[in-house]
């Protein structure tokens, strides 16, 4: 016999939370279920919490402060964006220029890493983060616990200048094991995968033009994950991907109603600016499962 009862915030919002809690307690009592059998949803069906640019809703995106906050909040993985500087360093920044998120200007590809790292990447977000700077990719790997996975999104392959640089970086220690490289540039991903078969690659997409599980199968390399814009993925495409052995990590969902829809269609991870809030939301879904 199997009984599953989900308590979620939608129910809570409707004032039904207390009633469902009582029902859960009664069920536990009448079925003589011991407390060890009442487990959180996350331990039964692991949905990865992936912090977008760290915890970009609560700290300046793509800074160590943001990544460490995501770690503190219990994210399983962080997503970040990389560009190559003029002196060939892997720089963690979303935009190709410093203009929006720092007190400096200019294209990263035209600047030395010293110049990039000298900018203030925190003040634009809040004076509380004044002095935060753009990190090198290696600083993020060093700052986070080894148990945390890192989703490196390559924004611009710079021709193919970034390929060997990134692979060389990932070959240090056990970095490759905790990494998923994603990009909207699927040719780049195929190239990287052919050069390093151990690498986990994820296809980013922002248009619902094909069944992406079928499309992934045509690439002739193993695709680890699909990263669709969250509004563009439905139950059928998710099931197709999961059946084919792929993870599905939609981006960037920040609202409970969006999280609930993604959970209902069976995604395996959610990329969010609010990893702490998503963790709390997932924990509010109780599962009672007598074994």
What residue ranges bind ligand G3P (CB under 6 A)?
52, 79, 81, 94, 153, 182, 204, 227, 251-252, 271
Question: Which of 130, 258 has the CB closer to Mg ion?
Answer: 258
Per-residue contact track with Mg ion, 224 to 263, x per CB under 5 A? ----------------------------------------
Question: Which of 255, 289 has the CB closer to ligand G3P?
Answer: 255
Catalytic residue of the set 83, 94, 186, 227: 94
Question: Which of 95, 222 has the CB closer to ligand G3P?
Answer: 95
Which parts of 76-95 interact with Mg ion (CB under 5 A)?
Answer: 81
Give catalytic status of residue 52 as yes or no: yes
Minimum distance of ligand G3P from residue 91's CB (angstroms): 14
Give catalytic status of residue 171 as yes or no: no
DSSP assignments along the chain, one per residue: --------HHHHHTT-HHHHHHHHHHHHHHHT--GGGEEEHHHHS--EEEEETTTTTTS-TTSHHHHHHHHHTT-SEEEEEEEE-TTS-EEE-SSSBSTTTSSS-SBGGGS-HHHHHTS--STTT-GGGTT--PPBHHHHHHHS-TTSEEEEEES--TTTHHHHHHHHHHHSTTGGGGEEEEES-HHHHHHHHHH-TT-EEEEEES---S-HHHHHHTTSS---EEEEBGGG--HHHHHHHHHTT-EE--B---SHHHHHHHHHHT-SEEEES-HHHHHHHHHTSEEE---
Choose the binding region for Mg ion from 27-35, 152-160, 167-175, 257-265 (rule: CB under 5 A).
152-160
- Interacting residues with Mg ion (CB under 5 A): 81, 153
């Amino acid at each position: 016999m199997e009984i599953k009862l989900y308590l979620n915030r939608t129910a809570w919002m409707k004032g039904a939370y207390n009633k469902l809690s009582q029902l859960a307690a009664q069920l536990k009592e009448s079925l003589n279920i011991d407390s060890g059998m009442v487990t959180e949803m996350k331990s039964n069906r692991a949905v990865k919490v992936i912090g977008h640019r760290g915890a970009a809703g609560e700290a300046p995106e793509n800074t160590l402060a943001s990544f460490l906050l995501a770690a503190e909040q219990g994210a399983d993985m962080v997503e970040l964006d990389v560009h190559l500087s003029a002196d060939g360093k892997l720089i963690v920044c979303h935009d190709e220029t410093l203009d929006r998120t720092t007190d400096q200007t200019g294209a990263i590809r035209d600047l030395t890493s010293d110049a990039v790292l000298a900018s203030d990447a925190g003040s634009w977000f809040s004076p509380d983060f004044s002095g935060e700077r753009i990190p090198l990719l290696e600083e993020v790997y060093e700052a986070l616990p080894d148990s945390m996975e890192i989703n490196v999104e390559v924004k611009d392959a710079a021709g193919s200048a970034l390929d060997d640089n990134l692979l060389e970086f990932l070959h240090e220690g056990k970095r490759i094991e905790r990494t998923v490289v994603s990009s909207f540039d699927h040719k780049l991903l195929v190239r990287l995968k052919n050069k390093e078969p151990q690498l986990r690659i994820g296809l980013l997409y922002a248009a619902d033009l094909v069944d992406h599980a079928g499309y992934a199968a045509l690439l002739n390399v193993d695709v680890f994950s699909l990263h669709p814009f969250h509004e563009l993925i439905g139950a059928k495409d998710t099931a197709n991907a999961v059946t084919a052995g792929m993870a599905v990590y939609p981006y960037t969902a920040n609202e409970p109603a969006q999280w609930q829809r993604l959970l209902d269609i069976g995604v395996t991870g959610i990329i969010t600016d609010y990893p702490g809030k998503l963790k709390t939301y997932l924990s509010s879904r109780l599962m009672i499962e007598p074994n």
